[in-house]
Chains A and B, each alone.
Chain A
Amino acid sequence: MSSRTQFESGLDKFNRVKTGTNVGFHLIFIVLSLLCLIPVIVVLSISFSSEDSIRNGGYHIFPTAFSGEAYHYIAQQGKLISKALGISVLVTVVGTVLGVMLTTSMGYVLSRPNYKLNGFLTWIVFIPMVFNGGLVSSYYINSNLLGLKDTVWALILPLAVSSFNVIICKTFFRSTIPDALIESAEIDGSSQLRIFFSIVLPISLPVLATIGLFLCFSYWNDWFNSMLYIDNQDLYSLQALLNSLMTNVDALAKNASVMGISYAQLVATMPKESARMAVAIIIVLPVAIAYPFFQKYFISGLTVGAVKG
């Protein structure tokens, strides 16, 4: 945690909370941690429960009858899932790359103190933080005027930039990139584009990682733009698919004809409840595995963002 608790000097050891208090604190945190972990375990165990046991006994924290039929079913008629997985990955990758480019380039430009349009661009970034057009006019502008309705771009473009991220970048560049470095490159005749791409970006990995990871998670977890702009099932992301499964479990049986059995037959035999939770697990698993490794980047990134400027 803090350097204070790791630092075991005599004074620190003396200045600790009492052992009783320490145990109490641990208990509180154990309870809170379980509250955050158990729900995910519940979803996991439902996804591994047999459909019969759910039908008769309901959901359980631990599966009463273990079964992989949900995953088997999903793999068997995986077209819908693999398509949705493809859309989710595509949107996450393209969106993250685009978002990082747009955010860092603006952040760099704003961090140059002598730039002539600095004041103007600062307002461009700042105004949307306090005022926005709201859902209705954004919806009509995006879907009618910009023609994004039912395209992947509707899932990518609206999320690409956030003023908060731009300001994190600006603060980072201004505080960590020495002016002398940029000036010497200017004297050597490098253009600003070259300075940005081959000098500034390579030494700015911490901020690139923070912004990239946050963008990554927000693209992967986005369901709202799908719900708003996507009617075509071929463009459903995993989140949109789970969303439609939550209201209508039969949605998975959509491509019944592909499998050569009737729709009614398929609906009757499919593991509905566990399949729903299995899709949730397919969404959660990569995130749950990835984020603990990147946590230190978020923490340093958020700290940079907390600095005023």
Chain B
Amino acid sequence: MDMKSGRKRPRVRWRTQDTELTFLALPTTIWYILFCFLPMFGLIIAFKDFKIHGGFLSNVIHSKWSGFKNFEFLFKSNDAWVVIRNTLGYNLIFIILGIVVPVTLAMMIGQLHNSKAGKVYQTLMFLPYFLSWVVVSAIVWAFLSFDKGIANQFLGSLGKDPVNWYMEPKYWPYFLVFMNVWKGLGYGMVVYLATITGIDSTYYEAAVIDGASKWQQARFITLPLMKLVIVMMFILAVGRIFYTDFGLFFQVPRNSNSLFDVATTLDVLVYSQLKTATVGMASASAFVQSVMGCLTILTANWIVRRVDRESAMM
């Protein structure tokens, strides 16, 4: 690199500041290579008969190719379909509720006459977002534990029999959906409220002069102007459709066996396969997750781009 003369030449050349900026970006680039790109190459484990003895590199190099055998095992197991159904099913509900509920509430909270109260509500509703899933799991336990839980004491005071909540799969889809909405509501409201606050107030003034009702203003001004953010959140959510919040599905049901059919998603399956050392199947599951995740986000973006170029992410 010829640094001194570089300064005087036109911008085509490599300049001193390019070297300096490269130096500045180097640590983060190394981080990306170690923690994001190396694992991508690690995906070949899915196609290998991988054993976990000895050094990692020599293992990868020396273990035999097994083709699609790991995938065969995965998809022949009955669990795989239940788990994929759960993952996609919960995510579909989460995507719909994760847009409808916060958008509605954000539009409502902006209408309150008393904006100080609105701020208090917003702060309180943001609280669950900052609790870890371990803490949330302790909270849920306080309510649902069989012999001490508040829910069963409440049933008892009504003269009803206690329910062993952690053994009853039929309630859990509702619990899990509720917990998801509960924890994410505050964050979602902030994102959408920020958009609403950014809308130029002259739109509303013009609408009032034209005699538009509050409902019409929401329908024809607020919602259309929120479209960009809503679509962006939608693409991001669809791109994560093969991933779930591991904490929600692992910590909250407390790994109860009787809840397997309703509370196990791909993330939980991958983790438990990893921990029980069925590495082949675990890596096949993880591979399905990564590749399908990539395909869904690109597809979602492609479709949005077709329909409305402006709203697309890339």
Chain A residues near B (Cβ < 8 Å):
1-7, 11, 14-17, 19, 21-22, 25-26, 28-30, 32-33, 35-37, 39-40, 42-43, 46, 54, 57-61, 101-103, 105-106, 108-110, 112, 114-117, 121, 124-128, 130-142, 144-146, 157-158, 160-161, 166, 186, 191-193, 196, 217, 220-224, 239, 242-243, 246-247, 273, 276-277, 280, 283-284, 287-288, 291-292, 295, 298-299, 302-303, 306, 308
Expressed in whole angstroms, the minimum distance between the Cβ of B139 and any Cβ of chain A is 4
Contacts A125-B32, A161-B32 given; indicate if A299 touches B131 (C-beta within 8 A): no
Contacts A58-B147, A224-B247 given; indicate if A239 touches B55 (C-beta within 8 A): no
Indicate which residue in A5, A101, A139, A283 contacts B132 across the interface (CB closer than 8 Å): A283
Q: Are A116 and B145 in contact, CB atoms less than 8 angstroms apart?
A: no
Q: Are A6 and B254 in contact, CB atoms less than 8 angstroms apart?
A: no
Q: Are B18 and A36 in contact, CB atoms less than 8 angstroms apart?
A: no
Seed contacts A33-B125, A106-B25, A192-B24; 9 additional CB < 8 Å A-B pairs: A4-B110, A26-B117, A29-B118, A58-B149, A103-B28, A116-B14, A140-B45, A191-B20, A246-B134
Expressed in whole angstroms, the minimum distance between the Cβ of A295 and any Cβ of chain B is 6
Please indicate which of the listed interface residues B21, B123, B124 has the most CB atoms of chain A within 10 Å of its own CB.
Answer: B21
B308 at the interface (CB under 8 A from A): no
Bound-state Cα–Cα, A39 to B140, Å: 8
Expressed in whole angstroms, the minimum distance between the Cβ of A80 and any Cβ of chain B is 16
**Which of B72-80, B81-89, B186-194 lies at the interface?**
B186-194
A-B contact pairs, 18 of them (CB 8 A): A5-B112, A22-B111, A25-B111, A29-B121, A39-B128, A58-B147, A102-B28, A105-B25, A105-B28, A108-B24, A117-B18, A137-B40, A140-B42, A145-B56, A145-B57, A161-B28, A276-B138, A292-B123
Q: Are A59 and B289 in contact, CB atoms less than 8 angstroms apart?
A: no
Contacts A42-B150, A136-B283, A242-B135 given; indicate if A4 touches B21 (C-beta within 8 A): no
Bound-state Cα–Cα, A131 to B194, Å: 29
Return the chain B residue nearest A145 by Cβ: B56
B195 at the interface (CB under 8 A from A): yes
How many residues of chain B are within 8 Å of chain A by beta carbon? 116
Q: Are B39 and A137 in contact, CB atoms less than 8 angstroms apart?
A: yes
Expressed in whole angstroms, the minimum distance between the Cβ of A211 and any Cβ of chain B is 13
If over half of A's interface residues share one DSSP class (helix, strand or loop), that class is named, otherwise mixed; here it is helix
B263 at the interface (CB under 8 A from A): no
Q: Are B130 and A217 in contact, CB atoms less than 8 angstroms apart?
A: yes
B119 at the interface (CB under 8 A from A): yes
Q: Are A1 and B119 in contact, CB atoms less than 8 angstroms apart?
A: yes
10 smallest A-B Cβ distances: which pairs?
Answer: A133-B39, A137-B42, A134-B286, A144-B56, A192-B20, A58-B148, A221-B132, A33-B124, A106-B28, A128-B36
| Contact pattern, B 158-194, Cβ under 8 Å of A = 1, otherwise 0 | 0000000000000000000000001001100011011
Q: Are A117 and B22 in contact, CB atoms less than 8 angstroms apart?
A: yes
Q: Are B112 and A22 in contact, CB atoms less than 8 angstroms apart?
A: yes
Q: Are A146 and B34 in contact, CB atoms less than 8 angstroms apart?
A: yes
Question: Which residues does chain B contribute within 8 Å of A277, judged by CB atoms?
Answer: 138, 142
Q: Are B290 and A133 in contact, CB atoms less than 8 angstroms apart?
A: yes
Bound-state Cα–Cα, A237 to B125, Å: 27
Expressed in whole angstroms, the minimum distance between the Cβ of A228 and any Cβ of chain B is 8
Indicate which residue in B20, B56, B208, B217 contacts A11 across the interface (CB closer than 8 Å): B208
Bound-state Cα–Cα, A121 to B193, Å: 33
B109 at the interface (CB under 8 A from A): yes
Indicate which residue in A109, A222, A306 contacts B229 across the interface (CB closer than 8 Å): A306
Bound-state Cα–Cα, A295 to B145, Å: 34
Question: Which residues does chain B contribute within 8 Å of A161, judged by CB atoms?
Answer: 28, 31-32, 35
Q: Are B31 and A157 in contact, CB atoms less than 8 angstroms apart?
A: yes
B113 at the interface (CB under 8 A from A): yes
B201 at the interface (CB under 8 A from A): yes
Q: Are A4 and B125 in contact, CB atoms less than 8 angstroms apart?
A: no
Bound-state Cα–Cα, A284 to B132, Å: 9
B271 at the interface (CB under 8 A from A): yes
Indicate which residue in A15, A130, A141, A299 contacts B38 across the interface (CB closer than 8 Å): A141
